[in-house]
């Protein structure tokens, strides 16, 4: 029953283009505007292509070069353009999946309309799975990698049809290039080799076939020569420890990277890890998608046995490797497996549609077969669009402006010739981006940017600020942490600017805060309070006497200056939330986290008037209009209105960010 595949028709190419367009329009509508707060290493991957540097292990050369091309686009800022690359290539992967399916779905299984419907439905279902969608709207490697996997498989099927050496060269070249979007693609090699043996074993006797394959793959893999050329650009302490400047270093940076993550679980834990994967699969495709995929596995074996061993071989190796992988964002590593599962879903769906068409003809007569066929085709496509509204809010990153808004105000607040201490390596690119790409505030020293281990001598005679806690429970740890002796252990870290609250869940980031580092304690206690806004709200033993808020007309994306006056009858740990309308601006502990130390080392605060003086970011996503600025404990009905603010939108957020970047 298995036979050579027929190439896609002109109609199929048009449908593939339409599916790519639909996916792109959705991804574009939910695209991250610029730098991302929600992506763990996306800001590094948005910066490195522009400067043609070296990303974290395993380097991602092809991703870097493709990203550089997108940075040349004449609109948006650089990070926005790299985000757009994920949307474009992610959408192309959806069209590529359709082209794969219309070739693989066997013509004897059902009529062309049902085959195209099954391929369309499976491609749409994959396009709007929550994890893939979320990766197609940020600067990350996963959506571009899906495009490379789709192209590689399409090239392999083309070689299967033609058996020409030049087509095998193209397949091998694309396979080698795909390693530059994710090195785990190398695990597909055994399945590819088995498919070649099952398809054209005689090809192994031709020297020209071997030459084509080795030349193609070698040319694609030669991209990793980029690593030693760019090893000198690394600023990440962990990456520098295995800098790819030697052959051993290249191995450690690529195949030997992150050994602590690989095969991190004992054999006894594998059943639990399989359950973890199955839970992720259910989350992506729902129970219906999982059941259709199981049916599709049987249909694939029956109708396309050679392709069964190819696709199932790819799938099993990928799942086997990553169920033993320890990472907080494990779900993204299974995206190639989800791509392959979408193929299984298409086979299962086609069997279901063909069966329903036969039942309709049996129940209603032969004349009902054609209307039933097109009704079923339409229903399958509409059913595949259900994830679109269901997953929209989870995947939508169009409101992810926290990093840009925060740093736009950081650069505006920092005094001349100051130093800004940030995390090093991957997580420092929130700040590095602005200076590497736009040269923003070149007078401000970023000690973690030129060197991975700054010293106190680098900071002499400069006003010191930091966006990462250097002391206490919130202190950054791991390879991105700054040296503990960089500033005196008894220095005061005084919050100056507060951004959004911390994110939650795996991979959560700390809240965005700009601290001033000073040797002398801030003046937190005053004898008298004369606030502009009289309040007198009591929260147990703590009374909010009043506040000063300025300006009362504020541009979205800028900062609001606040002074809060509290009278403390006892030393209380009270959480304070500031809201603008229904949106939380910030959450902090009374006294900005300094109260206990101030009480112990400077002067008692009981019975005194304590002043909090800080700036808070007004997100650029706040709509123009009049909004109530309220304050009170989080999730508490006891909140008071401080002022009625007028928010104005003098310019688009992107233009504001670009204006700040150019300073």
Is the predicted pLDDT of residue 72 greater than 90, yes or no? yes
Q: Strand pairing partners for 544?
A: 537, 566
**496 or 571: whose pLDDT is higher?**
496
Alpha-carbon distance 326 to 239, whole Å? 19
Q: What is the pLDDT of residues 358-412, one digit of tens each?
A: 998 888 888 888 898 999 999 999 999 999 999 999 999 999 999 999 999 999 9
* Per-position DSSP letters for 17-73, written without gaps between them: HHHHHHHHHHHHHT---SS-SS-SSHHHHHHHHHHT--PSTT--HHHHHHHHHHHTS
CB neighbour list of residue 478: distance below 8 Å, 6 or more residues apart: 238
CA distance linking residue 603 with residue 621, whole number of Å: 41
Q: How confident is the model at residue 234 (pLDDT cuts 50, 70, 90)?
A: confident
The DSSP line for 551-575 is: -SEEETTSEEEEEEEEEESS----E
Q: CA 123 to CA 384: how far, in whole Å?
A: 8
244-285 pLDDT per residue, tens = 999 999 999 999 988 888 888 998 999 999 999 999 999 999
Cα 228–chain centre separation: 27
Q: Does residue 41 surpass a pLDDT of 90?
A: no
Q: Which two tokens stand for residue 139?
A: 């600067």
Q: What pLDDT was estimated at residue 454?
A: 79
Task: Tell me the domains of the chain and their CATH numbers.
Answer: 10-227+262-395 (no CATH), 402-518 (no CATH), 525-661 (2.60.40.10)
- Tell me the average pLDDT of the chain: 91
Q: Which of 605, 617, 150 is nearest to 404 (CA)?
A: 617
Q: Which two tokens stand for residue 496?
A: 């100056």
For 349, the enclosing helix (H) or strand (E) is: helix 335-364
pLDDT bin (cut points 50, 70, 90) of residue 508 is very low
Q: What is the pTM of this model?
A: 0.93
> 3-state DSSP call for residue 226?
helix
**Mean pLDDT within 534-538:** 90
The pLDDT of residue 506 is 36
DSSP-derived 3-state class of residue 629: strand
505 pLDDT band, cuts 50/70/90, is very low
Across the strands, what pairs with 420?
Answer: 465
pLDDT band, very low/low/confident/very high, at 109 (cuts 50, 70, 90): confident
Give yes or no for a contact between 115 and 122, defined as CB atoms under 8 angstroms apart: no
- pLDDT at residue 151 above 80? yes
Dihedral (CA of 372, 373, 378, 379) sign: positive
Q: What is the pLDDT of residue 480?
A: 67
pLDDT classification of 475: cutoffs 50, 70, 90:
low
Is the bond preceding residue 551 a cis peptide, omega within 30 degrees? Answer: yes
345 vs 529 pLDDT, higher one:
345
Q: Tokens in use for 441?
A: 């505030």
Which pLDDT band holds residue 479 (cuts at 50, 70, 90)?
low
Contact present, 112 and 66 (Cβ < 8 Å): no
At 502, is the pLDDT very low, low, confident or very high (cuts 50, 70, 90)? low
Q: What is the mean pLDDT of residues 292-321?
A: 97
Least confident residue range of 234-243, 564-573, 582-591: 234-243
């Amino acid at each position: 029953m298995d036979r050579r595949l027929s190439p896609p028709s002109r109609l199929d190419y048009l449908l593939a283009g339409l599916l790519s367009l639909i996916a792109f329009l959705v991804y574009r509508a939910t695209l991250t505007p610029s730098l991302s707060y929600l992506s763990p290493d996306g800001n590094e991957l948005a910066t490195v292509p522009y400067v043609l540097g070296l990303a974290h292990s395993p380097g991602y050369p092809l991703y870097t070069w493709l990203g550089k091309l997108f940075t040349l686009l004449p609109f948006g800022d650089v990070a926005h353009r790299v985000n757009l690359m994920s949307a474009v290539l992610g959408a192309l992967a959806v069209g590529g999946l359709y082209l794969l399916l219309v070739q693989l779905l066997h013509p004897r299984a059902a009529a062309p309309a049902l085959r195209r419907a099954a391929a369309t439905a499976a491609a749409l279902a994959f396009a709007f799975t929550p994890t893939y969608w979320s990766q197609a709207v940020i600067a990350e490697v996963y959506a571009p990698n899906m495009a490379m996997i789709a192209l590689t498989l399409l090239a392999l099927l083309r070689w299967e049809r033609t058996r020409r050496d030049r087509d095998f060269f193209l397949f091998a070249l694309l396979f080698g290039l795909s390693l530059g979007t994710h090195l785990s693609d190398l695990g597909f090699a055994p399945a590819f080799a088995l498919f070649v043996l099952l398809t054209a074993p005689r090809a192994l006797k031709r020297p020209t076939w071997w030459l084509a394959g080795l030349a193609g793959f070698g040319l694609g893999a030669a991209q990793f020569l980029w690593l030693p050329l760019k090893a000198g650009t690394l600023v990440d302490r962990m990456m520098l420890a295995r800098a790819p400047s030697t052959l051993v270093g290249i191995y450690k940076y690529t195949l030997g990277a992150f050994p602590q993550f690989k095969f991190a679980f004992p054999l006894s834990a594998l059943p639990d890890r399989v359950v973890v994967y199955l839970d992720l699969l259910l989350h992506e495709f729902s129970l219906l998608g999982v059941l259709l995929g199981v049916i599709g596995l049987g249909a694939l074996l029956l109708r396309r046995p050679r392709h069964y061993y190819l696709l199932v071989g790819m799938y099993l190796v990928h799942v086997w490797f990553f169920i033993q992988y320890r990472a907080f964002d494990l779900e993204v590593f299974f995206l190639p497996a989800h791509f392959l599962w979408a193929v299984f879903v298409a086979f299962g769906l086609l069997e279901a549609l063909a069966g329903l068409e036969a039942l309709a003809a049996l129940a209603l007569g032969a004349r009902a077969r054609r209307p039933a066929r097109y009704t079923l085709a339409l229903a399958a496509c509409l059913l595949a669009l259900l994830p679109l509204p269901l997953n929209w809010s989870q995947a939508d990153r169009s409101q992810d402006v926290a990093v840009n808004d925060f740093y736009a105000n950081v650069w505006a607040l920092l005094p001349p010739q100051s130093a800004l201490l940030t995390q090093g390596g991957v997580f420092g690119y929130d700040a590095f981006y602005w200076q590497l790409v736009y040269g923003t505030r070149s007078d401000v020293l970023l000690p973690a940017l030129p060197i991975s281990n700054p010293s106190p001598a680098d900071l002499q005679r400069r006003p010191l600020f930091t966006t990462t806690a250097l002391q206490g429970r919130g202190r950054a740890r791991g390879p991105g942490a700054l040296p503990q002796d960089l500033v005196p252990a008894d220095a005061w870290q005084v919050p100056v600017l507060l951004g959004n609250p911390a994110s939650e869940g795996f991979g959560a980031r700390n809240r965005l805060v700009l601290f001033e580092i000073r040797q002398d304690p801030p003046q937190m206690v005053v004898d008298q309070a004369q606030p502009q806004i009289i309040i007198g709200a009591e929260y147990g033993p703590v009374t909010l006497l009043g506040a000063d808020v300025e300006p009362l007309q504020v541009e979205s994306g800028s900062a609001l200056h606040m002074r809060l006056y509290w009278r403390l009858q006892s030393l209380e740990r009270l959480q304070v939330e500031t809201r603008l309308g229904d949106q939380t601006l910030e959450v902090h502990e009374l006294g900005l986290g300094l109260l206990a130390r101030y009480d112990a080392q400077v002067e008692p605060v009981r019975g005194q008037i304590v002043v909090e003086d800080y700036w808070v970011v007004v997100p650029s996503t706040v709509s123009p209009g009049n909004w109530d600025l309220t304050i009170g404990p989080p999730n508490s009905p006891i909140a008071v209105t401080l002022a009625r603010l007028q928010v104005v939108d003098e310019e688009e957020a992107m233009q504001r960010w670009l204006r700040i970047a150019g300073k």
